[in-house]
């Protein structure tokens, strides 16, 4: 049992080793780097700058799908060629600027097959296809990151605006509440002043009425006194 497990482990190791790519020489690494840079330039400024952003991104997605299908199934005939008259190909590959140049760099070339125009992939460009595919993914990831950052900025701006609006509304409500309180205090003060004035008027009215009664009694007494003084003196007694 142990020997059988060892043999299986060795077989797995041999299979993994056979799948590992060989190390690149410095010249190959330099050539690959140059090819990467070339694909990057074909994307930006080649495709991204002369086309509307939405169109450019959609074209990159189509190019990525065409190359990804071939990388996943390089022997599948339906991925090795496509008609140039296809509506999606016309819209996203033929019409936009820079996309046909990128397609050629991936290894696709125009051919006529049975009197039909095609773009046909040349298998000897498989390594270039893989590099171009990686650059497309890199660019699409950057576009997604850019869109995500823009969304965060937009949400931040919207949040800031909402906070400003909320502060303005709160300030308005606070001013309105303060004004209502001030109006209420002013009303209470007016009522208090009116009550005080009413009490003073009532007290003054009572004092005036009491004074009139005293004056009337005094007048009656004076009249009686006048009558006494004005009366005729008593007659003298002759005997005296």
Alpha helices, DSSP H, located in the chain? 2-19, 26-43, 53-72, 77-80, 87-89, 99-106, 126-230
- 177 falls within a domain: no
- 86 falls within a domain: yes
- 70 falls within a domain: yes
Choice between 178 and 42, residue whose per-residue pLDDT is larger: 42
Decide: 83 and 66 in contact? Cβ < 8 Å.
no
- 134 falls within a domain: yes
- 124 falls within a domain: yes
- 165 falls within a domain: no
pLDDT for the residue numbered 212:
61
Domain count, the chain: 1
- 56 falls within a domain: yes
Check which CATH number belongs to the domain holding 137 and give it.
1.20.58.2190
CA dihedral defined by 71, 73, 78, 84, rounded to 10 degrees?
0
Question: How does pLDDT run across 4-34, given as a tens digit for each residue?
Answer: 556 555 654 555 444 444 577 888 899 999 9
> Domain residues for 127?
34-149
- 208 falls within a domain: no
pLDDT for the residue numbered 17:
47
């Amino acid at each position: 049992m142990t020997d059988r497990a060892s043999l299986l482990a060795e077989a797995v190791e041999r299979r993994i080793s056979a799948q590992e790519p060989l190390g690149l020489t410095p010249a190959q690494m330099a050539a690959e780097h140059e090819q990467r840079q070339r694909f990057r330039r074909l994307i930006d400024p080649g495709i991204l700058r002369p086309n509307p952003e939405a169109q450019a991104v959609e074209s990159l997605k189509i190019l990525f799908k065409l190359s990804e299908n071939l990388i996943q199934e390089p022997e599948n005939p339906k991925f090795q060629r496509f008609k140039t008259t296809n509506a999606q190909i016309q819209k996203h590959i033929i019409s936009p600027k820079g996309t046909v140049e990128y397609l050629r760099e991936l290894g696709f070339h125009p051919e006529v097959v049975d009197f039909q125009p095609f773009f046909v992939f040349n298998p000897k460009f498989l390594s270039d296809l893989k590099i171009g595919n990686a650059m497309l993914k890199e660019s699409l990831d950057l576009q997604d990151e850019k869109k995500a950052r823009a969304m965060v900025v937009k949400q931040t701006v919207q949040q800031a605006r909402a906070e400003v609006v909320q502060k303005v509304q709160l300030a308005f409500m606070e001013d309105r509440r303060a004004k209502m309180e001030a109006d209420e205090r002013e009303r209470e003060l007016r009522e208090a002043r009116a009550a005080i004035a009413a009490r003073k008027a009532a007290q003054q009215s009572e004092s005036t009425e009491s004074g009139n009664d005293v004056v009337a009694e005094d007048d009656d007494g004076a009249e009686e006194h006048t009558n006494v003084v004005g009366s005729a003196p008593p007659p003298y007694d002759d005997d005296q």
